[in-house]
């Protein structure tokens, strides 16, 4: 049971790391916590479910559709919302309120469109075979979801570290004012990262029914909480921290489900408390940045 829980935890951890990646990117560049993050994950989930049920489109295709659609949605949301916030007296705090409001609006709209019942993708959508490892069988949908998540994390890493735009993003993450002073297009960089963050959330959402069982319009808040915990565990503003945070969360969750199942709901909050008390800057954090 330990080996199964550990491997399942790693597969789930990679997925959860991917799910939290968009939240971390947006926070890293804009220092704004997107409280509607979980709702974009859920919206992505509905894209995958609707595409399969209505048009028999495989979720692998829906992933690309979600990426493109929500990149545009992200850009559409950025310009009317974020620049105004950036110029306000307390952008961080106001962003919490604004994105909380956006979260409520999205939840209400999803309820109108999709109803209140939980919905899911068939777990056999990628085939009925299993992955056998160390004498255990794992659902192929978990393995495919983890591999896609890993691929997307690697692509994000390559984007951040090996492209001119990625270098600009990291410069803005390091110090927004210095980046502006050196002539970097901070606003354009922020817009693209915001759109990428939303698109990544929606992409992870397409896979989410396969990993978390089902989604409904109210799932967003819980997913935001998990993503936030993962980001804090890894390191706020460090995308690679999401991966580490995701692994810590996923493995802890699975071990807790196996050995102390009644308490498994506490995992994100316990990890959050421990990290904030022991290492406030997160596992990969290099200390608190003072502005």
Residues near another protein, by CB under 8 A: 1, 4-5, 8, 27, 31-33, 35, 90, 92-93, 95-97, 100, 107, 111, 116-120, 122-124, 128, 130, 136-137, 139, 141-142, 211-214, 216-218, 221-222, 224-225, 228, 232, 236-237, 254, 257-258, 261-262, 264-265, 276, 280, 288-289, 291
Token pair in block for residue 84: 């105004």
**Residue 137 Cβ, how far from another protein at the closest point, in Å?**
8
Q: How far is the CB of 66 from another protein (least distance, A)?
A: 21
The dihedrals phi and psi of 129, each to the nearest 5 degrees, come to -75, 165
Q: How far is the CB of 72 from another protein (least distance, A)?
A: 27
State how far the Cα of 245 lies from the Cα of 272, in Å rounded to an integer. 10
Q: Kindly tell me which of 11 and 200 has the beta carbon lying closer to another protein.
A: 11
Nearer to another protein (CB atom), residue 26 or residue 67: 26
d(CA 23, CA 37): 6
| Cβ closest to another protein, residue 193 vs residue 212 | 212
> Rounded to whole angstroms, what are the CA distances from 170 to 56, 98, 160, 162, 194?
40, 25, 7, 11, 14
Give the residue with the Cβ less far from another protein, 97 or 181: 97
Angstrom distance (rounded) from CA 117 to CA 109: 14
Q: Least distance from C-beta 138 to another protein, angstroms?
A: 9
Quick check: 17 and 253 in contact, CB under 8 A? no
Nearer to another protein, 5 or 62 (CB): 5
- Residue 58 or residue 124: which is nearer to another protein going by CB? 124
Residue found by looking up tokens 């935001």 in the block = 224
What spatial distance separates the first Cα and last Cα of the chain, rounded to whole Å?
47
Q: CB of residue 27 vs another protein: minimum separation in angstroms? A: 8
Coil, strand or helix at 115: coil
Shortest Å, Cβ 28 to another protein: 10
**CA distances from residue 203 to 95, 98, 170, 264 in whole angstroms, order as listed:** 23, 23, 23, 26
């Amino acid at each position: 049971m330990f080996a199964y829980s550990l491997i399942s935890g790693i597969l789930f951890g990679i997925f959860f790391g991917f799910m939290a990646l968009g939240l971390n990117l947006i926070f890293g560049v804009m220092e704004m916590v997107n409280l509607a993050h979980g709702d974009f994950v859920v919206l992505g989930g509905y894209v995958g479910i609707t595409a399969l049920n209505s048009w028999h489109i495989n979720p692998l295709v829906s992933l690309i559709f979600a990426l493109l659609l929500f990149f545009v949605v992200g850009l559409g949301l950025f310009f009317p919302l974020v620049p105004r916030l950036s110029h306000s007296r307390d952008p961080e705090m106001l962003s919490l309120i604004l994105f909380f409001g956006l979260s409520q609006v999205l939840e209400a709209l999803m309820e109108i469109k999709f109803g209140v019942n939980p919905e899911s993708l068939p777990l056999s959508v990628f085939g009925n075979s299993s992955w056998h490892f160390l004498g255990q069988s794992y659902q192929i949908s978990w393995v495919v979801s983890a591999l896609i998540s890993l691929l997307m994390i690697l692509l994000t890493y390559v984007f951040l570290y090996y492209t001119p735009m990625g270098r600009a993003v990291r410069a803005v993450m390091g110090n927004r004012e210095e980046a502006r002073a050196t002539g970097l297009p901070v606003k354009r960089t922020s817009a693209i990262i915001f759109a990428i963050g939303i698109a990544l959330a929606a992409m992870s959402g397409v896979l989410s029914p396969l990993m978390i069982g089902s989604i409904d319009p109210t799932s967003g808040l819980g997913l935001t909480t998990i993503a936030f915990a993962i980001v804090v565990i890894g390191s706020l503003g460090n995308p690679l921290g999401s991966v580490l945070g995701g692994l810590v969360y996923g493995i802890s969750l699975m071990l807790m489900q196996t050995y102390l199942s009644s308490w498994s709901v506490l995992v994100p909050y316990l990890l959050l408390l421990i990290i904030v008390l022991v290492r406030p800057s997160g596992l990969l954090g290099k200390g608190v940045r003072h502005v």
